[in-house]
Homo-oligomer: A and B are copies of this chain.
Amino acid sequence: MATIRSIAKQANVSIATVSKVLNGKTGVKEETRQLILNVAQELNYRPNLNARSLKAGIARTIGILAEDLTVFNTPEIIDGIAVGCDRVGYHYILANLRLFKRFGHRMPDPATHAALIREALDTLLSKQVAGVIYIGSHSHQVPLLAEYNELPFVCAYCTCDTLPSVVYDDETASYDLTERLLQNGADRIGMITGPVDSLHSMSRGRGLMRALYDHRVPYNPALTLTGDWERDSGYRLAAQLLDAGVNAIYAQNDNMAMGVLDCCSARGVAVGRELQLVGFDNRDICQVCRPRLSTVALPLFEIGQTAAGHILKLISEGEPPALLTKLPCTFIERESTIRKEG
């Protein structure tokens, strides 16, 4: 590997001069500059980033602490972070807690969780990262550790008491989607929620209720049924809602919406014409089922970008970002909510 030392020797100058040129500093004769640049090119010089970081005391690198890389939201968020970092010449290091792989849908108990975070954080800190972005595999509170004070820390797709967090705006998305259903002619909207103790169930439900209220459509609690995010609950509860005479169903995630779709197909209900159906999350299935499912796309990439922006601001000691940033979702209209003509 070529070093500034080898360049210096080859070009018959001092390493200081080489360093200056390579770092774009002024005060070097143009002729020398060119010479050094040529030699560097010729020797295929690549700066040793470890040496640079050592010298600087900190790496131009942020750590990404992901709860589980293989959960659907995570790669896209990382992609957003990467683009945000690229823009300012920062790199990133990934640490994967593998929470889903290890514990499935249940979170580990807080002590175990904290131990895993601490371990990963140790590695990251050993690599002198300038800050850390924590990516949740779903929305929840992250255990608050004393270690977070050691360096800039931002949460993405999850929250933590005292840390700047970037999440998506459930409630508004739900409000907008309900409004659309109404505009499309629905007046009896059934809703299938997640478990009652889920924050998402709450905020999505609230969005619907607010939209109904604003449009002077009375909210009928009997048309809200509690599911469990799984497809089969969608199937089961759809039957009840259909019996209750709804003309639209809002399933709070795509999985359950798929169950609804099947139930309708079994009962000969034409989704999109007789019944409007909308899901949430914009998973791959939405494009593959028939009719294609209208749904809400999560701003994953933007969450990543925003989190990157936050951490970078924190690192450069700019003003700290807001404690909670809510990014808007996007309603995606497909065939399951085609507007009735007339």
Chain A residues with CB under 8 Å of chain B are 1, 46-51, 53-54, 59, 69-70, 74-76, 78-79, 82, 91-94, 96, 98, 101, 122-123, 125-128, 231, 255, 258, 262, 265, 283-285, 288-290
Contacts and interface: CB of A to CB of B under 8 A. Distances in A.
A94 B96 contact: no
Nearest to A300: B70
Contact of A101 (B54, B79, B255): B79
30 contacts: A46-B122, A46-B125, A46-B126, A47-B126, A48-B54, A48-B126, A49-B127, A49-B128, A50-B59, A50-B127, A50-B128, A51-B54, A54-B54, A69-B79, A70-B76, A74-B75, A78-B96, A82-B98, A91-B93, A91-B127, A93-B93, A93-B94, A94-B94, A231-B288, A255-B288, A262-B290, A265-B265, A284-B284, A284-B285, A285-B285
A128 B51 CA distance: 10
Contacts of A231: 288
Contact of A128 (B48, B69, B94, B123): B48
B79 A123 contact: no
B79 A96 contact: yes
Contacts of A93: 91, 93-94
Given A69-B78, A126-B48, A288 B285 contact: yes
Given A126-B46, A126-B49, A284-B285, A70 B79 contact: yes
Given A96-B82, A285-B288, A50 B53 contact: yes
Contacts of A262: 290
Residue among A46, A78, A123 with the highest chain B CB neighbour number at 10 A: A46
Contacts of A82: 69, 96, 98
A227 B213 CA distance: 50
A311 to B, nearest CB: 17
A339 to B, nearest CB: 23
Contacts of A46: 122, 125-126
Contacts of A101: 79
Contacts of A79: 69-70, 96, 98, 101
A103 to B, nearest CB: 15
